[in-house]
Amino acid sequence: MNIIISESQLRFLLENNNKSSLSEDIKSLYDFTKDIVNKSKDKFGIDLTLLMTWGAAVGGLVMPLDNYIRTGEFDLTEDQLTLILIGCISTLFLDNKRMFQKVYKKCKEEGIEGVLDQVVNKGSELKKSFIGFLSSLNLSIKNVTSLVRYSFLIPIISDLQSIGGDGDDIKIISLRIAERILAAGVITISVETLSKLVEKILKKIS
């Protein structure tokens, strides 16, 4: 059976000159998390090594918050920005009240606790919205571990909106997208599971 893929779909799958490949995008999420983990330990003595288990997924939720801070009217140093993100991580992923209190105390000393509260609230909204989106795909999100299994998709959902197709066509496209994502080597989901998830997303947003 011949599968016909439109020009825009082909461009997306093969990658054009103006966009990184999906695997590079996913790898950048992993590298972002790694950078936060390293800065956390070096600058503040907080060990977040456990986060590397979820690497790209953590980046999927936290990188948009980093962008939110950088494009907003916040006057922060790089260390302060990192501290804010650590506070978000301690709440959104680790549910570690002790760590959050340590970060909050440090932020209060620097007069940026209000920024921390604002960004944490923004992160909570994003998390809630994403959980709602996954629930609309009939995926059960029972705990944080379930959430972080999929949150690497957050930054690329808008990219997936440019993809269409139905029937066998969308199955082929979903498989190719899943293969491209997994080529980054930092996601621990099977190609079958990810392909089915991408297919559900494409059907949902098409």
Does residue 143 form part of some domain?
yes
Q: Please name the residue that has the structure tokens 């980054």.
A: 184
Residue-wise pLDDT tens digits, 144-190: 566 667 888 887 777 676 665 545 578 888 888 888 888 877 887 88
Q: How far is CA 161 from CA 29, 30, 37, 71, 133, in A?
A: 20, 23, 31, 24, 14
DSSP state of 162: T
Residue-wise pLDDT tens digits, 53-73: 778 888 888 999 999 999 988
Does residue 107 form part of some domain?
yes
Does residue 167 form part of some domain?
yes
Does residue 197 form part of some domain?
yes
Please give the full DSSP string across 26-80, using - where no structure is assigned: HHHHHHHHHHHHHHHHHHH----GGGGGTHHHHHHHHHHHHHHHHHTT----HHH
Does residue 2 form part of some domain?
no
* Structure-block tokens of residue 81: 């920005």
Please, how many CA atoms are within 13 Å of residue 116, restricted to the half-sphere of its CB?
26
Structural domain boundaries, residue 55: 7-205
Q: Is the CB of residue 63 less than 8 Å from the CB of residue 155?
A: yes
Range with the poorest average pLDDT among 39-48, 87-96, 147-156, 169-178: 147-156
Taking the model in full, what pTM does it have?
A: 0.77
CA–CA–CA angle 28, 35, 120 (5° rounding): 90
Does residue 97 form part of some domain?
yes
At 164 the pLDDT is 53
Does residue 117 form part of some domain?
yes
Does residue 96 form part of some domain?
yes
The pLDDT of 85-98, averaged and rounded, is: 87
Number of domains present in the structure of the chain? 1
